[in-house]
Every structure is written in C-alpha cells, then in structure tokens.
Amino acid sequence: MLEKQTPSFPLFQILDVEGNCDCLHEFDRGLLLHMYQWMLRSREYDIRLLKMQRQGRIGTYAPFKGQEAAQIGSAFPLEKQDWIFPSYRDIAACMVHGMPLSQVLKFVKGYFEGGKSPDGIPIFPIQIIIAAQTLHAAGCALAAKLKGEKSVSVCYFGDGATSQGDFHEALNFASVYKAPVVFFCQNNQWAISVPLARQMASETIAQKAVAYGIKGVRVDGNDVLAVYQVMKEAVESARRGEGPVLIEAVTCRIGPHTTSDDPAKYRNQKEVEAFAMQKDPLTRMKKLIFKEGLWTEEEEQQFLKQANSEMTAIVAEIEKTNPTSPDETFNHVYASPGALLAEQQQDLKHLLKQKGAFRQ
C-alpha cells in the first residue's frame, strides 16, 4: 500500500548540443535569427553590467549568463497585453517584452524610478523577495479572468523559490480558480549555495504540478527552440481558460548568484566549465544559425559592436542623471497617501535639509 509514486516528466528537447534539429521546418527562419540576436545582445549586456558592478558603477547585480535560452525563448511567445512578474535575474525576458535598457540601468544603479513598472508595458516591478511574485502573478491572472480580459500572467522564479510557501500557495490558488498564469521556473541547480538535491526530495520540480491538478512540463532550458515551443503551448492553454501551467526549464547559472557571492566556495568549478563548453545555449544556437546560412561571423561581430555602442551611449546618459531624492520613496506607496505617511515624508524632508541632502 505504501508505495512511492514518481510521476514521469521527461526532459523535452528539440535542438541538441551540436545544433541539430529534426523539425526545423516548423520554425520561421526570421524567428530563429531574431531569438539568436536577442540571446547575443542580452549576454553582452550581462557581461557589461557585471564589469560595471566590479568598477563600482552599479550596485549588487545578479548575472544571468547561461540562462539566455530560458528567458528569451519564454518571452517571445507572449503578446503585448500579457503580464510578466520577474525576479531579479530576469532582465533578458523583461527587455524582450519591452523594458528599455535605460530602465534596467536605473534599477541596477538603485534609482527609485528604476523599480517602477515601465509606462505602458505590462511588467511588474522586479521582485527581490524570493517567490513573492508567484502570488502577485496568480492574483493578476484571476483579476484578468474576472474582467473578461485575454491577458496571461507569466511568473519567473528560480528553483530556490519552490522551497517557499508562497510558491505552493500561488499554485494552489491559481489551480482552484483556473487562473490564466504560467509559472516558469528556471532551475539553475543552485539556490545561492544550496544545491537542488538539498532543497527537495522529489526528482523534478515539474512533478509538483500533479499535486495541484495542473499541467506541468520539464524542458531543456538551454534549448531556445524547445523553450519557445513549450511556452507557446502553455500560454495558449492558459489563454483558452484551461488553467495554470508549471514549466521547469533545466539550465545552469554560469556565474555567481549575485556579485556578493563566491560560488567557488560551494560549487565544483570544473562542472561549470564543462557546461560552458558543452551546453552553452548561445553556442548551441550559433551552430544552427551558421549551419543554415542565416548569419555570418562578420555580421555577428558588427551586431555585437553596435549593441555595445548603444549600451555605452545609454550608460553615459544615465550616469549624467542625478539619483532620485530619498524623499521620493514615499510617492508610490499609495495612490493617495494617508496622514501618517505624509507626516513621515515631511519629517524626512526636514532631516535631509538639515544634512544638506535634500534637492528641490
């Protein structure tokens, strides 16, 4: 009677490590190139931001190198009205969905306006608290359903978030009300310094969908085509009113958890190097793109040069901008601030004036 039940969730893959694909005819050539260009651009941005942090030009940063396929492939199937609920590592997905690089730079520089939702772009503020955005996404999805809208909410989170109560509450709530939400887990194997095997006893994250009576799938997160296909089906399912979907994208975090972390203290560096050599999502996609004659090395170098030039110009512009006054932290707490909040704001203004730090 007491038998361990292990649901089967095989890893879905389309593009192998050598860039071979048996169903290439199902994908538009322009789409392939566009996704690859975004993967290139986002990695260049990530490398530059990491360097800027080391130079003291931005605050703590969470690099996403190695997770480009998961983020780019999952953001491409979304429609303009769909909502994204990101964590601090999901900058690439946000930019594909419309967040300007200038907004990203304001966020990593600690400017208060960097944490606001971009005007006219359905992206919630980047969430720092682990798994909190899962509840926000479930609530937004239910609201859209009640209002008769056709938008889908997409929540991005890491494997560590599945150890939080918020994750389970969100899945349960969304499943009961059949909310149109896709829970997209980037399983990069590590929750800071804790390996996946020490976080959970279940063999996969995807199988947690069974407990909540929803659809679940496990996909190769380093295969941008597989991620795109799985996400496309998940979004369409949620939009049809079939309830939430849980996606586990198995990938790797090549760099540190954040720039405050030293992964060499807890992770075998040789395993990371082996991943970078054998499973790097950009290398895999590049082999396909070049094999199909869609791109040349000359075009790639020119593209990277242009992407870096654009970033340099935007960085220069942002660095000319003064940080927001601490007084302005009060402006977006409530639509109409109460008396107590207004009193606290006045007290802060008075204190900052005394210290000569307040700007009119």
Which amino acids are annotated catalytic? 253, 257, 266
In contact, 246 and 209? CB cutoff 8 Å:
yes
Residue with tokens 């198995």: 250
**Are the C-beta atoms of residues 294 and 29 closer than 8 Å to each other?**
yes
Q: Return d(Cα 180, Cα 145) in angstroms, integer.
A: 7
Find the radius of gyration of the CA atoms of the chain.
Answer: 21
Q: Is the dihedral of CA 342, 345, 347, 350 positive or negative?
A: negative
H or E stretch including 27?
none
Q: Are 287 and 223 in contact (CB under 8 A)?
A: no
Q: How far apart are alpha carbons 227 and 264 in whole angstroms? A: 29
101 CB-near residues (< 8 Å, 6+ apart) = 45, 95, 310, 311, 314
Q: Residue 239 is encoded by which pair of tokens?
A: 């939009």
Beta bridge partners of 217: 247
Give me the amino acid identity at 100.
Answer: P
Amino acid type, 301: Q
* CA gap 43, 66 in Å, rounded: 9
Strand ranges across the sheet with 215-220 = 11-12, 215-220, 245-250, 181-187, 153-158, 83-85
CA nearest neighbour of 92 among 63, 115, 114, 113? 63
Task: Quote the tokens at residue 315.
Answer: 């960085």
Count CA within 13 A, CB hemisphere, residue 154.
Answer: 31
**What number of other Cβ atoms are within 10 A of residue 132's Cβ?**
18
Q: Which helix (H) or strand (E) holds 93?
A: helix 91-96
